[in-house]
Structures are given as C-alpha cells and as structure tokens.
Amino acid sequence: MIISESELTSLLEARHATPHDLLGLHYSNASGKRGLVARALLRDAATCELVELGRGEAHVMERLAPEGLFELLLPRRRKHFAYELRVTDYRGVTRSVRDPYTFLPTLGEQDLYLFNEGNEHRVYEKLGAHPRVCDGVTGVAFAVWAPGAAQVSVVGNFNAWDGRYHPMRSLGASGVWELFVPGLGEGELYKFQIRDQQGATRVKTDPYGTYFEAPPNNAAIVCNPRRHQWQDAAWLGRRTQNAGRLDRPVSIYEVHLASWRRDPGNPERLLSYRELAPQLADYAVEMGFTHIEIMPVAEHPFDGSWGYQVTGFYAPTQRFGTPEDFAWFVDHLHQHGIGVILDWVPAHFPRDAFALAEFDGTHLYEHADPRQGAHMDWGTLIFNYGRNEVRGFLTANALAWLDRYHIDGLRVDAVASMLYLDYSRKAGEWIPNRHGGRENLEAIAFLREVNDLVHHYYPGVLMIAEESTSFPGVSRPVRDGGLGFDYKWNMGWMHDTLGYFGKEPVHRKWHQNDLTFGMLYQYAENFVRVFSHDEVVHGKASMLFKMGAWHIPEKAANLRALYAHMWAWPGKKLLFMGGEFAQSHEWDYRRSLDWHLCQYPDHEGVRRLVRDLNRLYTSEPALGEHDLDSQGFQWLACHDHEASVIAYLRRARVGDAQLAVIGHFTPLVRKKYRVGVPRTGLWREVVNTNSEYYGGSGLGNDGARHTDPVPADGHAQSLLLTLPPYTTTIFKWVEG
C-alpha cells in the first residue's frame, strides 16, 4: 500500500479537502515506489481493473479497503495516459466508467476572480450542475461556493447519497469546490454534503440549481434549462424598440398560478405551465391587459408562502412542470402579445435547513448578527449585500431569468425592507451604517447595480419596485442619484383611495382629501396604480366587499366607479386576479377563483367594464401618454366635497385628444350638475359605469353632451350633466 494510513482514513471518512491529490493518476517518487500510481474510490466494487485506452491493456488494481478504495503502481512509468475503470460489483455485474479524478477543473482563474469580485454576471453558467463534454467525455460539472467548509462531496442516486464516493476539489481561496463526474446526465438528483470546520456535516441543495424535486426531499435535478426552441423573436424586437419609452400604456394582470384556475374535473389538481399558458393568454388578450405579473415561481417548499420564501432562486417551481415547460409558457404568451413580469424576491430567504441558511457552517449568505440578518416580520434571513459573492449571486439571478426565460420585467418584492436597517425594528435592535444613519448602504448599492445591469444587457425589460415609503428617487436613473427602477408601486394612493371607498357614502364628504392628496406627489416617481394580492387576504376582504355599501349591487357600483377612476388617473395599472370580476371571497391560495360568479350581472358587469377600460386606456393617447408628467392632467373641480364629486381632465401629448373624467360617489342622482371644460362643442360619453351593460341602471347623459356658454370652474363653457349614483363617467371631446 503506497497511500498512508492517515490519507486512507481521511478519504474513507470523507474528510480530505483535496481528493484529486490522492485519487486519479499521479507520479510517485517515493523510494522503491517510483512510477505512476492510480487510485479509485468506488462504491459497491468487488474488483477493479485499470484499462489503458488505445492500448487496451488491463491492470488489476489492489483493493485496500472494503469500502472500495483501489490502488495500482505502474513502475517506471511517467507519462500520463487516458484510461477507464472496469468495475465488477458484488452481484457479478461488470461496468466500465471513467475516473472523475483525471479531469482538470471546469472553472478557470478568470471565472473565480470575477466571481469573488462579484462581477461574474453569468456565474449561473459556471456554478451549479451543468452537463458538459470534457476531453470528449460527457458528464456533469458540479461547482458550489462553500468557503467555510472543511470538505464537500456531491451526493445523489448515483452514489447512494454517500459522501465518501465523490469528494470535490477545493479551488483554493475562491471558496469554490468543483468536480466533473463523467457518465452522468440530465435527470440525476443531487445535493452537496458539506463538512464544516467543527466536523459536523449538513446536506444542502444547490443554490444555483435549475430544477428541483418536490418536498420533502427537495433535491436538485441536473437539467439543461435551454432546451426550448424560442419563437418570440418579433416580440423581443418590439420590446427592445420600446426601451426607454416608459410613458406608454402598461396594464398588468397579477396572477397566482396555483389558484387562478384549476382542473374543473379535479379541483385538487394544479394545471401545468402548458395548460395554463393558452388559457391565460386568451384571457389576457380578451381583457386587454398588456402584461401578466406572476407571483413568485422560483422554487419554494411551502405553498402558504405564495412563493415569497424561496429556496431555489434559479429554478421555476416543479409544481407546474419542467423548466422547458416554463419557457414554453412564456413563449406562448409572447406570441400572443402579452408580456410576462415575474415577482423577484432578493430581500430575504427562509431558514430551511436544506437551503441557504448557514450554508457551509457559517453565516455565508446572511449576516451573522441577527440585528442585521434576521427579518423581523417573516422570520426569515436577510442577505448580506456587502459580500461580493452574495451580491453576485443575486445580480446573476435577475439576469438569469431574463436570459433563460425571456422575462419582460421583474417586480422586486419588499424593497422598503431592504433600504432601511431599522425596518420593523425597535431602538437597539439594529446597527447604524458607517455614517450613523438608518439606510442600508450595501442594499442600495446592490439595487442600483442590478437595475443598471438589467437595462444594459436587456433594453426594454422593466424593473418595478414594491416600495412603501417615501425614499427619494426610487424610479429615477442611477446617474441622477436614484435607485434606477423604471416604476414604483403607489402604495399611498392605494391605501387612501381604498380608505375613501371603504367608508359609508354619508361620511365620504369629510374625506375628499383622500381622493385629491395623491396629486401632490403624483409626479415624484413613475407610479403604478395597484390593487394587489396583499389587499385581498388576511381579513382585509375582497375588492367587492371593501366597498362601503350595504348591498351587492351598490358594492358593485362602487367598485365600477373606483376602477374607472383608477384607469383614468395618471399611472400604470395593476389588478390582482379575481378583482376584475368582483370576486366575493377573499383570495385563497388553495383553491381556484370563483369563475362561476361571472354568470351574475353584478360580477360579469365589472369584468366587462375592466375589459373596456383596458381598451380605452391602450387606445386613447390622452390616457396612455403623459402618465409620468403633469402636462397630461388638470383638475376641473375637486372642491365639491358635499356632493362627493371630483372632475379632472386628461390630455394627450400632441393633437386635440382630451378626456373629462367625473366621479360621483354618493347614492343620490344629481341632475343638472355643471362642470366647466376647456373646449366648446360635443363631448361624447365614452364610459359610464352605470351602464346597463355593466350591471347599472342605465341612467346617464344620452351618450353625449354639448357645452353651454356658461362659465364654470374657471372655464368659459361647461357641461350640464346628470350624475348617476356611484358612477364615474368619462367624456371625450370630439368636435368644436
């Protein structure tokens, strides 16, 4: 036996950090043992022969341990050669394999340098598991970052999950461990067995895994995520042409895939990506939405997290199919003219023992100090944005979704929790930044970097922030000192407006400012108007039952008036699924939406209205343009709080297009109500939310009104209108 007892023990106990120094083919200069030495560690091997490729000469290897460690000395030989191992197991079955420990590292010094620097933007093609051909041999290259580990092995079905048989090579100070395993391919399940510096072992899934098996095992699956043949070149070309054109119609339908629609014959069965795509595409086209936004589909173990507690950041969830199926889903929507926005969660991650938490026995991805690393609201962990490799992991993750799956936008979740060190913390529970302030400088730098990189590599892709505070410049360019997002959710407008419509009509006159206050900060950011999933869960009631009225028809009338006001008000639009047909129940992630309600006028009428509002919004320049600057808006009247009436004008960038919007939010009929307008002539009634077609009474203004030469609201002419109860009416000027 040439190997020492201590080296033998370290291999058999999976404690050796540089197994390539012992396994494979090496030159021995030891006295009396000069020559080439080959060693192999093979599970379930009774005998092993080394077969020289080309020459065909076979050499019997000596078994040094029953665990399957074999050794061979070829005296006086110096030149390395290619070989394979002919292994016979205890059942007498013989197989030939290539030795993993004869291959050079699949990562180069430049790869590792950029990774450690946080600037390897395609690190997802380097770390993880990748089918490759090395030296003409097919196999899988595994690589994982675990700088605090004493030893790492890749384990899977191919070695009975035994960490002794495929120990990985440490690539020095980079903290990366690597191994090419010949003969493996797609479909193999695997994890990483990591021994920490204290000798304890843990088994972790791959942070860069592209596909996972279902809980509770959560193993990664070797997968090529680029198998789909894309057919969306025309869509991507149009998207690139729109780069920088933020002032255009964007109407987003927010969807939770597991509960949008299920198999009618088996409500417990989730529809697949390939089943959902045609139905969603057809529905989005019918309803006039420009985009769908999918609540997180990155792999997550707990359905009740709705996808916001991610354990597989690079993997579309297996719940609905394979990565190739997900690519087909996106492609199908693109071919039908619908963009796909993905909820992305770089703010935190769960504490599941199989995933990122204490990955290599140290606080690798998270802060060690709970005052920085523990998320107080969700019981999760906060990424350490100051660590290059962690920042690179997240930045590359954003780019990977755009690269591999052609995603059109990322809505970044919980941005406020990233920006502030004291977010949801009491005094003494947080650590100030280096200037003594509360801003998380590392997270701010990360957000700026990822926004700039997305816009650099993928022009036309939208970056949207869910940010609930008044942090300045969220949707301003990085070059101007902003965070670099394209849009920001307007949470203030949402809460004020829902607060107003949630009040009984008799009390609304005291809260007129809830409708008007938003205009004071309207153009501070590029806003998206949102009624999201967060507003229809946890006892907050559905959109329909938020309305401050007693009976369903009145609630539906209020909701119609609210939606028309939302679509007419400046800003992009987002509506959560079910809200478009006035679902009665709160959203339940465990069941399908109540589509049967669309047979009733109060629900189908709301759906018809949302469809028509989208069509008006996308076709009328007065609504789609000047969304982001004050030239597109003018108050006509906002002072009549006693009548609960507001009126405003929307204007196009060029031409004569003007729309007058009048909202009346009491149960009374107000006849001969005068509103001043800037132009004489005919104003056509293009939307009346009280139309019988939408479930209303039909009372309105006979389709149009001519101006009278009667001054009102600072204008020389005015319209004499009938204002139905709980109604928003939109008039378009058509001729002088």
DSSP state of 604: H
- 3-class SS of residue 445: helix
| Length reported for the chain | 736
**Residue 228 near residue 327 (C-beta atoms within 8 A):** yes
- H-type helices in 513-632, by residue range? 513-516, 543-546, 552-568, 601-619, 621-624
Alpha carbon distance 462, 485 (integer Å): 8
Backbone angles phi, psi at 278, to 5 degrees: -60, -40
What is the three-class DSSP state of 88? strand
- DSSP per residue over 505-536, as a string? GGGGGGGTHHHHGGGGSTTSS-EEEEE-GGGG
Q: Which helix (H) or strand (E) holds 637?
A: strand 633-637
Distance of CA 584 to the CA centre of its chain: 28
Look up residue 392 and give its two tokens. 């690179």
| Cβ-count burial 476-515 (b if 16+ within 10 Å, e if not) | bbbeeebbbbbbbbbbebbebbbebbbbebeebbebbebb
What residues contact residue 91 under an 8 Å CB cut-off, 6+ apart? none
Q: Please state, in angstroms and rounded to a whole number, the distance separating the CA atoms of residues 557 and 62.
A: 85
For 422, residues 6+ apart whose C-beta sits below 8 A from its C-beta are 429, 430, 438
Q: Which residues contact 325 (CB under 8 A, 6 or more apart)?
A: 272, 273, 274, 316
Q: Is 120 left (phi over 0), alpha (psi -120 to 50) or beta?
A: beta
Instruction: Give the separation between CA 458 and CA 403, rounded to whole angstroms.
Output: 9
Apex CA 726: angle with CA 724 and CA 732, to 5°? Answer: 65
Amino acid at 567: W
Query: What is the rounded distance in angstroms from the CA atom of residue 529 to the CA atom of residue 251?
Result: 9
Among 55, 46, 51, 47, CA closest to 25:
51
Residues annotated as catalytic (active site), given as ranges: 413, 466
How far apart (Å, rounded) are the C-alpha atoms in residues 336 and 282?
8
- In order of 596, 652, 719, the CA distances from 705 in angstroms are 38, 21, 7
Provide the β-strand partners of residue 633.
Answer: 650
